[in-house]
Structure 1
Amino acid sequence: MKIVEMISIRKEFPGVVALDNIDFALEEGEIHGLVGENGAGKSTLINVLAGVFQQSSGEMRIFGEPVRLSSPSDALRRGIGVVYQDTVLDPYFTSEENIWLGREPSKLSVLKGKKTRSDTKELCEEFGIEVPLRVPVGTLSVAKQKMVEILRALSMNSKVLVLDEPTASITQSDTDNLFKILRNLKEAGLSVIFVSHHLDEVFNLCDRITVLRNGHYEGTYASSELSTRSLIKLMTHRDLTDQYPKQEYKAEEEVLRVSNLNSVKLGLKDISFEVKKGEIVGFFGMVGSGRTELM
């Protein structure tokens, strides 16, 4: 059964066609990958589905019913929950307060704290999600904050969960835990749209993959039909060897050496590296790992 159908969706901004006749269909109980380079139209398509933007033309159906979503609250009422890449939680409120913010159980304007706690516990147990519930969200890791946002979407009886680059700033173990939860949600009958630049994650998690390029629809495929090479070619219209041509280069002359660099103030400990003439040296790490401080 098709939960979401987007047919020939076109979205124009002044002087720009962001989406040009895009087709997208989400089946019940599937995890569907949405991929493309920066500027391909992924965020715009998500925002149309979330009611943030209204399409310039084209048709959208949810549970078979033609709809034109007028606002994010309209999308939520129809079961579309979106977790964006940037956190939208109040850092000073607890996880529990963020989950029910604006919808707190009350009677005669008096908040019912016990009801909130029992509802939250039931929600966590139902979907197998564990987060500290009574501490300020700002003290939690990025991964835990994502879990709170997922719980908030699920608390609104979302049937479709859209995740925009959810693994961009979390560790591998947190990613593995997230994937376990998403598979549990799939087993429970929810449908998930997973947006990511990490193609290995897309292949690992998704049943089908829809590819966008420069606002155009490049097709929808079963994950088993594609390889990393063929998917990159669909995304870029270039072969992998063209994108990353092999070049022979032997760097010899050293121009910079850093040995056992320490800074208590900046949180750096025993940093060592060298740079040779004509070489490009990359620094990789999670958000907060110290790359910017080192530079």
Structure 2
Amino acid sequence: MRHRTLAAFGLAAVASLGLAACSGGSTTTSPDGSGVVTLKVGATPSPHAKILTYVNDNLAAAEGIKLDIVEYTDYVQPNTALNDGDLDANFYQTVPYLENAEKQFGYDFEAGEGIHLEPLGVFSNKHKSLDELSDGGTIGIISDTSNQARALELLATQGLVSIPEGDGDVNINTVTKLKNFDFREVEGPQLVRSLDDFDYAVINGNFAQEGGKSIASDALVVESPEGNPAVNVLVWKSGTDKSEAIAKLEKILHSEQVKKYIQETWSDGSVIPAF
């Protein structure tokens, strides 16, 4: 996968359109001659489809594009549909997830820059700060492998664990604990419900919200979007003939209007802009 900056992608889009015009290939002009290009974009319902709906209702027309938003409730079908040509783009995944899917299925996709992060937070019903972690204490952590690695990265920023160097797996068995405590692996949705059983727990923002906790007001530590590989990105198929329209959508998704919409819609901090 070639992870380009927006500027680089925009230049590539113009170049590819020029080649298409010279060769008589397809362009991004709409079939009815209106000049408005429809992009079929797959997304999970929230926050992705909600953000795209805001874009379509308020910002897309000014850029000459229209979004046909297709909602998915799983993480496999949107990439399958994109690869099969049933979608022009999708918006639901992180770059590490995409890179793993490309290795597994041989996709040839490209991704834009980070749009938003659904951050992890450290929560506790017993303590006011991580400094209160006692000798032999317990930290609840998600059992899902990709989110567990994120949780451990967050704990590493707080000086609780050391992450091994290299490209090996990051999990509770490969990190070095820098203090005397025990990990307890729990499924994501159960972490907030089991919070009384631990000194602390690292919980995904959406699971915390479902359990009545707020990232903004209840988390002791919150994952930062800066340089974070877990930010969510727009993804498209390499060589698409709608590259110019996708570049416009990528630009809109990084606009001040979208940033403000994310901040106001998820004022609890469960979704934060990554730009």
- TM-score normalised by structure 1 residue count: 0.26
In terms of fraction of residues, the more helix-rich structure is: 2
Q: Which has the higher contact order (CA 8 A, sep 6+)?
A: 2
Q: Of Structure 1 and Structure 2, which has the larger fraction of its residues in strand?
A: 1
